[in-house]
Structures are given as structure tokens and as C-alpha cells.
């Protein structure tokens, strides 16, 4: 019923920037909190940043001061601006959304397909 479509991943040199986007679509009444997670080979998926529908944000310590999460509620879209990228940021980045469906059913486990971010040294 809900799709999250991510874009913006790619290959960048250390110190460079990328901007990820994730748009939610489907039988949606409301998109509540949204977030970005990442998973590197051999690691568990970890939280990168979250944002509520009201704009309150939360960041992992490893990305504070470098990454910025934002959203456009009119477009049901969340963004992740990644600056000063480091090789250790290399991972598959996944979009997550807490969604209230048209039926009023609420689910928090909607995920995008993932987009690869590779930072070279």
C-alpha cells in the first residue's frame, strides 16, 4: 500500500557531499515520523537521523554537524544532506517512514529499497 522511493546515492570523494531523497506514495492519510538508517557490510543497520512531522530532529553522534535531515510535508518527502563525507560513511542508506494509511491503520515499518553511498579516500 505504501512505497518509499529513494534517490541520490552514488560515489563521492572524502570531503564531498551528497543529498538523498525519499518520497512516500500510496494510500496515505498522513506520514508521521521519517528517518534514515544505514548498513555497512558486516554491520547491523544503524540509525542515522530521524525527523518528526513537526520538524524535530535526532542524529547519530557520528554524523552530527555533518548531516542534515529535512522534509517537505506537502510532498511526503524526506531528505538527507550529507556534507564532509568520510569513508566510514560508506553504506547502503535506507529510508523509513511511520505512516497512517487511508484506512487509519498505522505502521512504522515501511522501508525503501536502499541506495548505495560510497565514499572514497
How confident is residue 1, by pLDDT bands cut at 50, 70 and 90? confident
- The Cα–Cα gap between 34 and 98 comes to 6
Closest CA to 29 of 94, 118, 105, 87: 105
* Tens-digit pLDDT profile for residues 16-38: 999 999 999 999 999 999 999 99
Task: Output the CA torsion sign for 27, 5, 112, 15.
Answer: negative
- The Cα–Cα gap between 51 and 97 comes to 10
* Tens-digit pLDDT profile for residues 84-101: 999 999 999 999 999 999
Amino acid at each position: 500500500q505504501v512505497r518509499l522511493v529513494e534517490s541520490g546515492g552514488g560515489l563521492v570523494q572524502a570531503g564531498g557531499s551528497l543529498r538523498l531523497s525519499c518520497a512516500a506514495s500510496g494510500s496515505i492519510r498522513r506520514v508521521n515520523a521519517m528517518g534514515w538508517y544505514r548498513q555497512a557490510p558486516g554491520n547491523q543497520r544503524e540509525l542515522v537521523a530521524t525527523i518528526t512531522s513537526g520538524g524535530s530532529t535526532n542524529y547519530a553522534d557520528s554524523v552530527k554537524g555533518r548531516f542534515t535531515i529535512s522534509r517537505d510535508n506537502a510532498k511526503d518527502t524526506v531528505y538527507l544532506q550529507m556534507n564532509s563525507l568520510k569513508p566510514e560513511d560508506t553504506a547502503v542508506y535506507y529510508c523509513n517512514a511511520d505512516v497512517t494509511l487511508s484506512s487509519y491503520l498505522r505502521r512504522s515499518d515501511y522501508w525503501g529499497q536502499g541506495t548505495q553511498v560510497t565514499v572514497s579516500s
